[in-house]
Structure 1
Amino acid sequence: MHNFEKRRDRYNAFASFENPLVNLSFELEVPDFRPFCKANKLPPFHVFLYCVLNSLKEIDNFMYRVFEGEVIKIDDFMASYTVLNQDNNLNFARFQRSSDLREFVARSLEAKKFAESSDVLVNSTEALSPLDKRRNVHITCMPWLKLVAIEHPIYQHKSYDIPSLAWGRFSDPRDDGKLSVNMSVLAHHGFVDGYHVHLLAQAIAARAAHIIG
């Protein structure tokens, strides 16, 4: 929490706003990891999700939450994301995050299969304790669209403190060996500035580069 204390005055300023959220949409460039995925029989979405969530955990500013009126730093969060079930209705996949790529992908695929097969909404936060509700990151992907912007449904802006990330379809292969994807990052501005979103983008790209060697 030492790092947070350096910006507590910024948090206090933005926390007084009716809507303290910042939402940035940008084009993310990363090394094209899809040939690696094909060679290793790994689904690209789940590998990218691995890069996103494990990079997010490394940046303190995305780990701050408000619990019982006080700012805390969570030590980890659930891995979760939206899927479509067999009726083409929204559902939620949820699993324990792992820093091991293959373990992460295996857990993600298992969670996806369960969420897709359920015709009722599963893995909502209603059954979680108030603290566990804070141990969360919201993820959605729309692979059919080139994302330009997004507005997330938010119950109450003033008390919203969970980062929400979204992205659209990956670009076609590029001559420079990279792919691009339009991404949106929403977070509490008392915790996160544009600079921290920049750090996240750099961390995702670096992790993808490390994976493919």
Structure 2
Amino acid sequence: MNNFERRRDRFEMFDGMDSPALNLTFTLELPDFRPWCREEGLAPFHVLLCAVLRSTLKVENFRYRVLDGDVLRIDRLRPSFTVTNANNDVNFAQFEWTDDLREFVARGRAAGAAASAMTELNRFYRAMTPRECRDQVFITCIPWLDFTSIQHPTAALDNPDIPSIAWGKFRDAPGGRLQLPFSVQAHHGFVDGFHIHQLAQQIERELTGFMA
């Protein structure tokens, strides 16, 4: 928590605002990992999900949360993401973390399939304690749209401490690259634009490491 204490004055300033959320949407450029995924039989969404969540743990400022007025630092993540069901209604998938990429993808696909098969809203989060809820990053993918902005809902306008990350439609880019709209919403008391830049860099490093 030493890194946080150096910016506690920034946290107190932003946390005192009606909404301390920082919401930034940008074009994320990455190595085109889709051919590698096809060769390995891995779903690109889940590979990118793994890279994104690993990156949020490696960029320190994305580990901070607020609980009962105190700041804490998480040590693990509980992966979750949105899916659509047969009625095209949103639902939520969640599964247990694993550091093994192939197992991560397998668990993610199974959780997504189970949530997609439900007509009712998945209520898994109702069984989570407030502390367990902090071990999340809210993830959504809108693969049909090349969007330029997004506003995420928050349970309390003055407490967006759990980061929300969204990405959209992939498009080809020169030199074996791909581009996609990418949005990050986080508590400005913890995260600045520079930390979002660090996150983008780390996501590329994670994907490159997978393919090495």
For the superposition of Structure 1 and Structure 2, which TM-score range results when normalised by the shorter chain? over 0.9
Q: Which residue of 2 aligns with 1:194?
A: 193
Q: Cα offset for 1:124?
A: 4.7
Taking the aligned partners of 1:169 and 1:123, their CA distance within structure 2 comes to: 28
Taking the aligned partners of 1:96 and 1:55, their CA distance within structure 2 comes to: 17
**In the TM superposition, what are the counterparts of 1:82-121 in structure 2 within 5 Å?**
82-121=82-121
Structure 1 gap segments, 5+ residues each? none
TM-score, normalised on structure 1? Answer: 0.96
SS at 1:76's partner residue?
A: coil
Q: Contact conserved, 1:94 with 1:123, CA < 8 A, in 2? A: no
Q: Contact conserved, 2:55 with 2:203, CA < 8 A, in 1? A: yes
Q: Which residue of 1 aligns with 2:175?
A: 176
Q: Does 1:67 align with 2:67?
A: yes
Q: Which residue of 2 aligns with 1:29?
A: 29
Q: Which residue of 1 aligns with 2:150?
A: 150
Q: Which residue of 2 aligns with 1:161?
A: 161
Taking the aligned partners of 1:160 and 1:187, their CA distance within structure 2 comes to: 6
TM-score, normalised on structure 2? Answer: 0.97
Q: Cα offset for 1:125?
A: 2.4
Q: Cα offset for 1:103?
A: 0.8
Taking the aligned partners of 2:120 and 2:90, their CA distance within structure 1 comes to: 9
Taking the aligned partners of 2:132 and 2:191, their CA distance within structure 1 comes to: 21
| Identity within the alignment, % | 47
The RMSD of aligned alpha carbons is 1.0
Which consecutive aligned stretches of 4+ in structure 1 deviate over 4 angstroms post-superposition?
none
Structure 2 gap segments, 5+ residues each? none
Taking the aligned partners of 2:133 and 2:209, their CA distance within structure 1 comes to: 32
Q: Contact conserved, 1:93 with 1:123, CA < 8 A, in 2? A: no
Taking the aligned partners of 2:210 and 2:131, their CA distance within structure 1 comes to: 33
